[in-house]
């Protein structure tokens, strides 16, 4: 693969099969800081990638033009809302780090954790769909991987998965405890929740990979 193989990539490569299917929530542009883009391309994995912010979704479309097996959806996952506001750092600002492009969040105060102030934040209304409605709309019968990166909403999405109907073999998401988005108590709670369904865990300072 060139660069060092990650734990998540190794896990996917071990569990891949002809009908492997994934859902990626918060896909950004499909390349920057994307933990699965490389393995999706190498193994030609089939799936759905969601990105709600319009200009970033346009970049995602360009970066996935050679991946017709991946369906792109310009929506966010939200438990209850069909439309919601995402707060993002103004992309027209100069002298801001490029990683800010992938930090749009449902939470207005989210960017204060990175040292940005309200004058640097803009609001963008985006279309939303619940996880269950996405499953029904796309007629999905099996999920092997759920990859989540939603800047603070990851836990809510994990809790919204109906594990009685779907038990993905891999769930990868941000825990954000080190950045104070989530607490250690909420981290332990979601670990306990997933443990009830037989998941094992790998984690580092930022991410959790739950797997079976």
Q: Tokens at residue 173, please?
A: 């998401």
Confidence of residue 89 (pLDDT cuts 50, 70, 90): confident
Burial profile 178-198: b = 16 or more Cβ within 10 angstroms, e = fewer:
eeebbeeeebeebeeebeeee
Does 127 map to a domain?
Answer: no
Range of the domain at 181: 7-79+139-211
Q: Note the pLDDT tens digit of each residue in 3-49.
A: 789 999 999 999 999 999 999 999 999 998 899 999 999 999 999 99
Does 117 map to a domain?
Answer: no
Does 176 map to a domain?
Answer: yes
User: What pLDDT does residue 87 have?
Assistant: 92
Does 167 map to a domain?
Answer: yes
Q: Tokens at residue 200, please?
A: 């094992």
User: What pLDDT does residue 136 have?
Assistant: 96
DSSP-derived 3-state class of residue 112: helix
Q: Report DSSP state, residue 6.
A: P
More confident residue, 98 or 56: 56
**Mean pLDDT calculated for residue range 112-132:** 88
How many domains are there within the chain? 1
Q: Note the pLDDT tens digit of each residue in 133-180.
A: 999 999 999 999 999 999 899 999 999 999 999 999 999 999 988 878
**Mean pLDDT calculated for residue range 62-90:** 95
What is the domain-level CATH number for residue 193?
3.40.50.150
At 10, phi and psi to the nearest 5? -65, -40
Does 91 map to a domain?
Answer: no
Q: Across the strands, what pairs with 89?
A: 121
Does 41 map to a domain?
Answer: yes
User: What pLDDT does residue 110 have?
Assistant: 76
User: What pLDDT does residue 2 have?
Assistant: 56
Q: Report DSSP state, residue 105.
A: B
Confidence of residue 92 (pLDDT cuts 50, 70, 90): confident
Does 84 map to a domain?
Answer: no
Does 177 map to a domain?
Answer: yes
User: What pLDDT does residue 1 have?
Assistant: 55
């Amino acid at each position: 693969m060139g660069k060092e193989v990650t734990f998540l990539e190794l896990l996917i490569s071990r569990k891949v099969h002809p009908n492997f299917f994934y859902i990626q929530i918060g896909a950004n542009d499909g390349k920057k800081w994307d933990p699965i883009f490389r393995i999706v391309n190498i193994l030609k994995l089939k799936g759905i990638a969601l990105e709600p912010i319009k200009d970033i979704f346009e970049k995602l479309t360009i970066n996935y033009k050679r991946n017709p097996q991946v369906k792109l959806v310009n929506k966010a996952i939200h438990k209850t809302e069909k439309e919601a506001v995402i707060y993002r750092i103004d992309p027209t600002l100069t002298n801001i780090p490029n990683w800010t492009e992938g930090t749009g969040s449902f939470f207005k105060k989210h960017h204060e954790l990175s040292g940005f102030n309200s004058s640097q934040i803009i609001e963008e209304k985006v279309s939303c769909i619940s996880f269950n409605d996405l499953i029904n709309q796309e007629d999905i019968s099996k999920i092997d991987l759920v990859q989540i990166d939603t800047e603070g909403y990851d836990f809510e999405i994990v809790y919204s998965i109906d594990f009685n109907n779907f038990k993905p073999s891999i769930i990868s998401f941000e825990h954000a405890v080190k950045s104070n988005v989530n607490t250690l108590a909420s981290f332990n709670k979601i670990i306990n929740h997933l443990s009830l369904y037989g998941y094992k865990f790998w984690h580092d300072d930022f991410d959790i990979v739950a797997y079976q």
